[in-house]
């Protein structure tokens, strides 16, 4: 889509707060899993419809400024709504506790996250490669004007894609809520890691984002375990190395 | 379209152009490089904004509409350089803009090579195959008016002849109207009933293709051939 949106960290944060709000009101995590992505997706769709679509012509800088402005607004909104303190929620019933395999211990919730991740990845890959909407988006990545000339309302596609992206980030926030601290600046770390993942994987490629997330996730985890002081540095060194050897990222299209 | 003025940024590339394509008619838009042919076609298709003037498709006003709405009025542009989607397979390129029960099979009958290469990515086609795909992709939108921008560009003479024959066949079998911008005079005259000549963004000549084909002096003056 060639749109730069730095507010995805905020969408993730909003998802986590939505999870906290729903769980503390109703005690039902599964309801949060439904309502969180829906409401965050709605917010994303409205942002595109009312503001972002006016900026596509003006290039990336305007998009960066607008979306960065939104990250500040969302942090302040969350702070004024929930206060500056840190919250946490428990995993849903049935997914608490841990089990052991071959001497290593896993929480049940780890497995749940793994399952959700694989499911989301599969849905994205199938939609991207096999469905019409994926074809429209892949076409739009290289030539938006031509897509319009074929009678396709790209404006609508953009709004829905933007909303879907926001909903996915919101889903990430809901799923993360039981094992991370929920606080007003929680968006920063995720945003930076997500940016690294996307750049490393290659802009405009779902496969690239998948490969990038696996690579960065493993590098970050192993880095934290063996060289804790350098775990962030390792992530950035990895990105720098890929960019030097292959400037368009692992799966990015040639510019 | 009447009194069309359009261009990029502050620059008017075409000024006060009147063009008419009747139902079932084929019209050629001639002129040297930079005369404004591509700008005219892109503007009609809604990809460039109109400064002034009006455009109507079947009597319905189309000026100022976004390109996807104009396409839905039954007008399809085959752009200069074909602009095949490289990350889409041949079949995906065809089905992307398919409308009203358009069937890939009909296009594949017209261009058997597109059936053979259905799963190949657009980036891996030859120039001739790309041009056939571009025509097929446009036909899948079920147009009544086909705008063709330099379809002969970069193609072998034999392929250019094929395209000429194909355009004739499409007119007969599908009752298509055609507006074709061409540098290749032979192709344009083989295809068109009438011609317009553009020079520096203005229409400087209008007449039948037959008369223009016989008038060497006119051709030399406007096209330098």
Work out the number of other CB atoms within 10 angstroms of the CB of residue A134: 18
Does A139 contact chain B (CB < 8 Å)?
yes
Does B71 contact chain A (CB < 8 Å)?
yes
Q: Residue B111 in contact with residue B75, Cβ under 8 Å?
A: no
Does B46 contact chain A (CB < 8 Å)?
yes
Nearest to A209 by CA among A179, A155, A165: A165
| Pairing between β-strand B60-61 and β-strand B56-57 as defined by DSSP bridges | antiparallel
Q: Which residues of A touch B45 (CB under 8 A)?
A: 149
CB distance B86–A153 less than 8 Å? Answer: no
In order along its 255 residues, chain A shows pLDDT tens digits of 778 889 999 999 999 999 999 999 999 999 999 999 999 999 999 999 999 999 888 888 999 999 999 999 999 999 999 999 999 999 998 888 888 888 888 899 999 999 999 999 999 999 999 999 999 999 988 899 999 999 999 899 999 999 999 999 999 999 999 999 999 999 998 998 999 999 898 887 888 999 999 999 999 889 888 888 888 888 889 889 988 998 888 887 655
CB distance A138–B95 less than 8 Å? Answer: no
What pLDDT score was predicted for residue A30?
96
Burial of A60-73, coded b for 16+ CB within 10 Å and e otherwise, reads eeebeebbbebbee
Query: From the CA of A167, how many Å to the nearest CA of chain B?
Result: 26
What pLDDT score was predicted for residue A229?
84
- Counting as low any pLDDT under 50, the low residues of chain B are none
CB distance B97–A253 less than 8 Å? Answer: no
Specify the residue for token string 């989607």. Answer: B85
CA-based nearest residue in chain B for residue A205: B87
pLDDT (tens digit per residue) in A100-111 = 888 888 899 999
Which residue from A132, A135, A143 is facing B83, i.e. has the nearest CB?
A: A143
Tell me the residue length of chain A. 255
pLDDT (tens digit per residue) in A163-215 = 999 999 999 999 999 999 999 999 998 998 999 999 898 887 888 999 999 99
Alpha helices in B33-120 (DSSP H): 37-44, 67-72, 90-95, 104-110, 112-116
Q: Residue A175: which residues within 8 A CB-CB, separation 6 or more?
A: A33, A112, A113, A116
Burial of B23-50, coded b for 16+ CB within 10 Å and e otherwise, reads eebbbbbbbbeebbbbbbbbbbbbbbeb
Using DSSP, state whether B183 is helix, strand or coil: coil
Does B121 contact chain A (CB < 8 Å)?
no
CB distance A139–B96 less than 8 Å? Answer: yes
Residue A201 CB-half CA count within 13 A: 21
For A182, which DSSP code? B
Q: Which residues of A touch B72 (CB under 8 A)?
A: 151
SS3 content of chain A, % helix, strand, coil (to 5): 75, 5, 20
Give the whole-angstrom CA distance, residue A23 versus residue A12.
16
Does A157 contact chain B (CB < 8 Å)?
no
């Amino acid at each position: 889509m060639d749109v730069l949106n730095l507010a995805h960290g905020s969408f993730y944060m909003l998802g986590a707060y939505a999870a906290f709000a729903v769980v503390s009101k109703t005690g039902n995590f599964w309801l949060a899993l439904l309502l969180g992505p829906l409401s965050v997706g709605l917010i994303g769709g409205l942002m595109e419809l009312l503001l972002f679509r006016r900026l596509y012509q003006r290039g990336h800088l305007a998009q960066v400024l607008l979306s960065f402005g939104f990250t500040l607004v969302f942090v302040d909104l969350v702070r004024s709504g929930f206060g500056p303190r840190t919250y946490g929620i428990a995993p849903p019933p049935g997914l608490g506790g841990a089990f052991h395999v071959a001497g290593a211990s896993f929480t049940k919730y780890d497995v749940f996250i793994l399952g959700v991740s694989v499911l989301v990845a599969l849905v994205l890959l199938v939609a991207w490669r096999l469905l019409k909407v994926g074809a429209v988006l892949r076409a739009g990545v290289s030539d938006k004007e031509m897509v319009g000339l074929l009678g396709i309302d790209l404006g609508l596609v953009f709004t829905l894609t933007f909303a879907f992206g926001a909903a996915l980030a919101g889903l990430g926030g809901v799923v993360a809520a039981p094992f991370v601290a929920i606080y007003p600046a929680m968006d920063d770390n995720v945003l930076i890691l997500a940016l690294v993942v996307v750049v490393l994987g290659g802009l405009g490629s779902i496969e690239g984002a998948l490969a990038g997330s696996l690579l960065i996730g493993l590098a970050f985890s192993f880095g934290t375990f063996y060289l804790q002081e350098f775990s962030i540095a390792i992530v950035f060194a990895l990105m720098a190395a890929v960019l030097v050897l292959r400037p368009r990222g692992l799966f990015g299209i040639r510019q | 379209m009447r009194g069309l003025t359009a261009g990029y940024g502050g620059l008017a590339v075409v000024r006060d152009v009147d063009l008419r394509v009747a139902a079932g008619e084929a019209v050629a838009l001639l002129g040297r490089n930079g005369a404004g042919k591509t700008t005219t076609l892109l503007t009609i298709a809604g990809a460039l904004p109109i400064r002034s003037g009006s455009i109507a498709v079947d009597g319905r006003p189309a000026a100022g509409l976004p390109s996807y709405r104009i396409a839905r009025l039954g007008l399809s542009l085959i752009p200069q350089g074909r602009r095949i989607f490289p990350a889409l397979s041949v079949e995906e390129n065809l089905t992307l803009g398919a409308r009203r029960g358009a069937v890939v099979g009909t296009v594949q009958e017209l261009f058997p090579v597109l059936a053979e290469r259905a799963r190949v990515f657009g980036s891996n086609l030859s120039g001739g195959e790309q041009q056939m795909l571009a025509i097929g992709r446009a036909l899948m939108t079920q147009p009544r008016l086909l705008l063709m921008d330099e379809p002969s560009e970069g193609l072998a003479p034999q392929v250019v002849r094929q395209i000429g024959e194909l355009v004739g066949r499409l007119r007969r079998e599908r009752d298509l109207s055609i507006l074709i911008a061409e540098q290749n005079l032979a192709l344009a005259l083989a295809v068109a009933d009438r011609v317009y000549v553009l020079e520096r963004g203005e229409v400087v000549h209008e007449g039948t293709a037959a008369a223009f084909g016989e008038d060497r002096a006119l051709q030399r003056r406007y096209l330098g051939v």
